[in-house]
Structure 1
Amino acid sequence: MNRKFLLVMVILSIIVGAFYAYLGGFSSAKVSEVDSQQLFVAGRAFKGAVTDNLINDSFRRAAEVLDKKELEGMLGNIYYNNPEDRGDSIHAFIGVVIPDSAVQLPADYELRVVPAGRRALRSEVNAHYMLAPNKLYEAIFDYAKEKNLGLETFYVEWFPEDHQGIVEVPIKE
């Protein structure tokens, strides 16, 4: 019986490891210093506890907007507080990065513009959007600490593909 159990555990471990690898769990983020690009983010503001169901509703609504083709674009968010320091509260704008500001927005959406031309750190990773944020932020914070750079509390993340994530954070001048 112990051999069967061990064999089942080994097979399950291989399956879990392969799935984790498929999602990009073993990918590492690359960080570079860039001039930020202008982005148009259509979405809904959220300020409250990370356990609040309204934040999940905002994420679901963004996915729905894309699925129903109410907007063309990619999932994207703006955070106005440090994701590592936020504790149990978050100040965010959750939605869709769209190609330009001239599109008709869904009734429950508003538009925010991320300005271009600011010196920023950009982190990119090839991983599923469920795994990407932790890798992206960790890489940015490690790079900033290593280079002794201060960061603003303005984080923009977007997901151009299912297995790609990008975060930009302006560098304090």
Structure 2
Amino acid sequence: MRWFLIIGGALVAVFVGVYVWLGGLKPPTVELLTTEQPVFLAGKPFKGVPNAEFGKLTGEVAELQRRGTVRGVLGNIFYNDVEKQGQPVEAFVGLVVPDTTQRLPIGYRYRVFAGGQKVLRARTDASFMLAPGQLYSAVKDEAEKRKLKLRNVFVEQYPENGTSEVLATVQ
């Protein structure tokens, strides 16, 4: 029994340490702003319940980035509330790119999130594994606090090293 408690305590300490190391305790910053520039994405559309197919598409996009076929940062546009577990989503999965001049692989296309939109921008330096949950919670809390209505259009950016970001359009 004593060894069980020692091992259990050590495992809890390791999990807490990893969570802190990944940035789990860093609160995101949220600000209300109007976007100045458009955001360009290169990718593919997805409709349905996020499942293995969604994961495969995300992996395919990450591989394009890793090989340098398309230069950009992992990112998506969601056109509905992404936090409703098990619910269908409408998304554009791809890479945030600087412009639309790159030649894209067959089946890929560009999509633009127009500039001049009123958004809540949430940012965090936490790992991309933790960032989505933190960012979406922060956006929803801030919208409620400011009595803003979310339009359910979200643009995500998850750089390998750097600040993760969600832009949430508001009315």
Q: TM-score scaled to structure 1, two decimals?
A: 0.92
Partner residue of 2:131?
132
Percent of paired sites with the same residue: 34
2:47 counterpart SS class? strand
- Report if aligned partners of 1:23, 1:163 keep a CA contact under 8 Å in 2: no
Q: Alpha-carbon deviations, 1:57-77, whole Å to 9, x = none? A: 111111101111101111000
* Cα distance between partner residues in 2 of 1:5 and 1:82: 42
- The CA RMSD measured in Å over matched residues stands at 1.5
Partner residue of 2:102?
103
* Cα distance between partner residues in 2 of 1:112 and 1:86: 25
Equivalent positions of 1:21-170 (< 5 A) are 21-36=20-35, 37-51=37-51, 53-85=52-84, 87-162=86-161, 164-170=163-169
Structure 1's consecutive aligned runs of 4 or more residues displaced over 6 angstroms after TM superposition are: none
* Cα distance between partner residues in 2 of 1:87 and 1:169: 21
* Cα distance between partner residues in 1 of 2:62 and 2:141: 30
Q: Alpha-carbon deviations, 1:53-99, whole Å to 9, x = none? A: 22111111111011111011110000001123475211000010111
1:152 counterpart SS class? strand
Shift of 1:26: 1.6
Shift of 1:163: 5.7
Where in structure 1 are there 5+ consecutive unaligned residues? Answer: none
Bigger mean CA deviation after superposition, 124-133 or 134-143: 124-133
Query: 1:19 and 1:163, CA in 2 relative to 1: closer, same or farther beyond 3 A?
Result: farther
* Cα distance between partner residues in 2 of 1:10 and 1:164: 32
Partner residue of 2:9?
10
Query: 1:163 and 1:13, CA in 2 relative to 1: closer, same or farther beyond 3 A?
Result: farther
**What is the count of residue pairs matched by the alignment?**
170
Shift of 1:162: 3.9
* Cα distance between partner residues in 1 of 2:6 and 2:93: 44
Where in structure 2 are there 5+ consecutive unaligned residues? Answer: none
* Cα distance between partner residues in 2 of 1:31 and 1:127: 14
* Cα distance between partner residues in 1 of 2:71 and 2:139: 28
